[in-house]
Structure 1
Amino acid sequence: MAIASAQQAPHSDVVIVGKEGWLFPAWGSLSEVDTTGVQAATALIAETQQALAARGVRLEVLVLPDKVTFYEDRLPEGRVVSDAVRKRYDVILGSLQAAGVDALDARKVLADTRAAGKDVFYRSDQHWTQPAADAVADAVAARIKQKVPVLAGEPGTGMALGSETRERRYGDLAELFLDPAARSAVGRDTFVVRRAAEGQSLLDDGKAPVHVTGHSMVQAYFGFPQKLSNAIDRPVTVNWKSGNVGPWVVLLDYLESADFRDNPPQVLVWQMFEPVYGFGPSAQGQWDNASIMSNAQWQQRLHKALGH
C-alpha cells in the first residue's frame, strides 16, 4: 500500500516511480534514440582520442549503461522500453567502433554481474552498486594492462582495499526529487561502501599513470577508482562533477588544469552515460547553463589545452 501511494503521490517529473519503490531517472527517453546526436558525440570523442594520442595519452572511453535496461520489469504499469532504446547501447558502441574508438562493453560486464545474482544499481538511487563498480573496474584494468603493458611508477603503489561498511539512507533519486510523502513511502536503501584502508587515500592530483574523469558514478564513494588502482597496482587520480554538468566540461576541467599540464597520465578514462550520450556540449536544457557551449567552442578549448 505504501509503494502504491508513492506511485500516486505528486513527485518530480524527472523521476519515474516504479514497482516496489524502484526509482528511475527520467532524463533519458524510454522510446526514442537521437542517432544524429549519437554520431555527433562520437565524432567529438574520436577527435579527442586523436588529439590525446598526439600527446602520448591513450583515451579509454567508458560508456555506462542505463539503469532501466536492467530493471525494465520494475517500471510502473504502462511504461515500457522501446526496441530502439533496448538497442541504443549497441548503436553507441557501433558508432564508436566505426570511428576507430575501441570501447569496453560495460553493459555485458554488468549483465554478467547481475546474472551472478548481484544487483548492479541501487533501488532508489541512480548509481551503481559496489559489485558493479568492481566488475567494471576490473574490466577496464584488464584493457589498460593489455594496451599499455608498461605503466609508469612502481609495483605495490596501487590502493589497498578497505573493509566494507553498510549505510542505511535514502537514495539520491528519492532524496533529491520526491516530495516527503513519496520519499517516506519508497523508504531507505542499504548502501555497501568501502572504508579507506589505513594510510590510503585517492589522489585528486599528482603523478599517476591513469586518470579517471566523469560524473558521480566514478566518485570515490562508489568504489570504482579505488578498485581500478588496486587492479592496475598503480595510483589513480580522479576528477568528477554531478551529472547535470555533463561530461564535456568535466573533461575540459581536467585538460585545462595545471595537474594535466605537469603530470599527464598514460591513460585517461573518460566516463560517459548511455541515456545522455547524444547530448553534446551545446545541449540546452540538459546541462547547467555554465556548461553550455557550441561544439566549435568546445573543440577550440580541447586543442588549446592539448597545445595544438
Structure 2
Amino acid sequence: MTRPLRTLYVALFIGVLSLLFAWSMRGVLSYQLPKQFSVIDGGLAKTFESHYDENFPVKTLGTSLWAGLDYLLFNEGRPGVLIGEHDWLFSNEEFKAEVDGPQQVRENLALIKGIRDQLAQHNVQLLMAVVPSKSRLYPEFVGDNTTSQLRQGLYQRFLDELHNAEISAPDLLSTLRKGKANTAMFLRTDTHWTPEGADLAAQQLSNSLTDGTLDGEPQRYITTPGVAKPYTGDLTRFLPLEPLFGYLLPPPDQLRRNQTQAAEQVIGDDALFGDSDMPVALVGTSYSANPAWNFAGALRQHLQRDLSNHAEDGQGPLIPMLKYLQSDEFKNAPPQLVIWEFPERYLPMASDLSDFDAQWLSALKQPNDNRHFAANARP
C-alpha cells in the first residue's frame, strides 16, 4: 500500500470516528439530571449510562440496518408486527397460536361468566362489546400471513358462548363490515379502530339495549369532529427503520380526534349525575381508554347518559374488570349498566392475575360450565 493511500485510509478512519464522536455528543448534551439521584451509590451514573445507551449512534445505526434488511429481504419487522399488503400492519397477537390456548379459552370464559354473576348480584346488567380482530375485518390486506387454527372463527364462537350464557353481545363485526365501505374502521398502521369505527360500535351497543335499561332523563351530547392530521400507529414501533431506511415506513394514517361534550354543561349541584352515581361504567382496554378513538364519548352521545371510564392501556380486558369489581366505587355505588369492551384476540391469552386473591378468582369460576365451546373447532 502506498504512503498516500495509507494516509487516505487513516484520514477516512479518523473522519468516521470524528463524526461518530460528534453524533455521540448529542446523547451527552441531551442528558438531564433526574429530580432525585445519589452520587454515592452510583445511581447518577446508572441513569446517565441508560440515557447514553438509548442514544448511542452505532447502536441506532445497527438497529436500523438490520431492520432495513429484514424489511427489504424478508418483508418482516420485529416480533410483534406482521406486514400485510398495501402498507397495512397487523399485530401478531391476532395470528399466533397460544400456549395451552384451548385451556386458556375455557379459563377466561369461566371468569367472564363469574363476572356476569358478580354484577347480577348487584343488579347490574352486563353488555359485552367484543371487538373483532383487525385481520378479520380486513382479510384482503393480510397477505401471506396465516392464522392459527384456534383463532379461525374465534369471533363467532365467542359470541355464541356469550349468548349461551345469556350475556348480551351484539355482532359488531357485521356492523363494521358494512361501515368499512364508507370509511376506514381500523387504522392501517395501528392496532386500534378509528373514531368512525368506535362510533359505529357505540351506536350498535346503544341500539341493543331495551327500553328502561337506564333510568333517569336522557342527556344530550354533541360530538365535534377534529381536523385530520397525520398519525403514526403503534405498530410502526416494531419497524425501527430510522435513520437509514425511514423512507420505507408506511405513510402515516390520517386521524380525526373527535371530542364529545354535553350539549348543556351543568355546573355544581344541578349536575345530572355526580361522581358516585354514574348510570354506566365502561371497562376495557386501550380501545376504550385512549381518547384518540373517542369510544367513551361516542357511547355518551348514543346512550344519552354519562359514564365512568375504567378502561386501562396495556392490561388486557380482564385485569381492569377485576380491579373495578374490587373498587370502592363499584361496591358503594354500582351502576345500572357495565359495558365491557373485550377484543377477541385476548380470549385465548393468559393474564397475570397474581395481584388478585386466588380464592376469590376460584370462586368466580364456579360453576365452570364451558360445555358449548369447542376450542379446536374449525369455522
TM-score by length of 2: 0.66
Which residue of structure 2 aligns with residue 274 of structure 1? 344
The DSSP-based 3-state class of the residue aligned with 2:200 is helix
The DSSP-based 3-state class of the residue aligned with 2:94 is coil
RMSD: 3.1
Match for residue 167 of structure 2 among 101, 118, 122: 101
Structure-2 change in CA distance of 1:130 and 1:25 (3 Å): same
Identity between Structure 1 and Structure 2 (%): 26
Which residue of structure 2 aligns with residue 263 of structure 1? 333
Cα distance in 1 between the residues matched to 2:304 and 2:330: 21
Q: Which amino acid aligns with 1:118?
A: T
Structure-2 change in CA distance of 1:254 and 1:183 (3 Å): farther
Structure-2 change in CA distance of 1:84 and 1:44 (3 Å): closer
TM-fit CA distance, 1:96: 1.8
Instruction: Indicate the structure (1 or 2) with the bigger Cα radius of gyration.
Output: 2
Which residue of structure 1 aligns with residue 55 of structure 2? none
Match runs of 1:1-308 below 5 Å: 6=71, 8=73, 11-29=77-95, 34-76=101-143, 78-81=144-147, 85-114=151-180, 116-144=181-209, 146=210, 149-156=212-219, 158-174=220-236, 176-181=237-242, 184=247, 185-197=249-261, 205-219=275-289, 220-243=291-314, 245-279=315-349, 283=350, 287=351, 291-292=353-354, 296-297=358-359, 299=361
What is the count of residue pairs matched by the alignment? 285
TM-fit CA distance, 1:18: 1.7
The DSSP-based 3-state class of the residue aligned with 2:207 is helix
Q: Which amino acid aligns with 1:102?
A: S
The DSSP-based 3-state class of the residue aligned with 2:227 is strand
Q: Which amino acid aligns with 1:140?
A: L
Structure-2 change in CA distance of 1:196 and 1:230 (3 Å): closer
Cα distance in 2 between the residues matched to 1:292 and 1:273: 22
Cα distance in 1 between the residues matched to 2:69 and 2:139: 18
Q: Which amino acid aligns with 1:278?
A: P
TM-score by length of 1: 0.80
Cα distance in 2 between the residues matched to 1:193 and 1:179: 26
Task: Please identify, of 178-187 and 125-134, the stretch whose mean Cα deviation from structure 2 is larger.
Answer: 178-187
What runs of 5+ residues in structure 1 fail to find an aligned partner?
304-308
TM-fit CA distance, 1:11: 2.9
Contact conserved, 1:252 with 1:302, CA < 8 A, in 2?
no
TM-fit CA distance, 1:153: 3.2
Task: Show CA shifts across 1:172-226 (max 9, x none).
Answer: 111x32203466522311112213448869x995432111100110133202111
TM-fit CA distance, 1:50: 1.5
Q: Which amino acid aligns with 1:63?
A: V
What runs of 5+ residues in structure 2 fail to find an aligned partner?
1-67, 267-272, 366-379
Structure-2 change in CA distance of 1:80 and 1:224 (3 Å): same
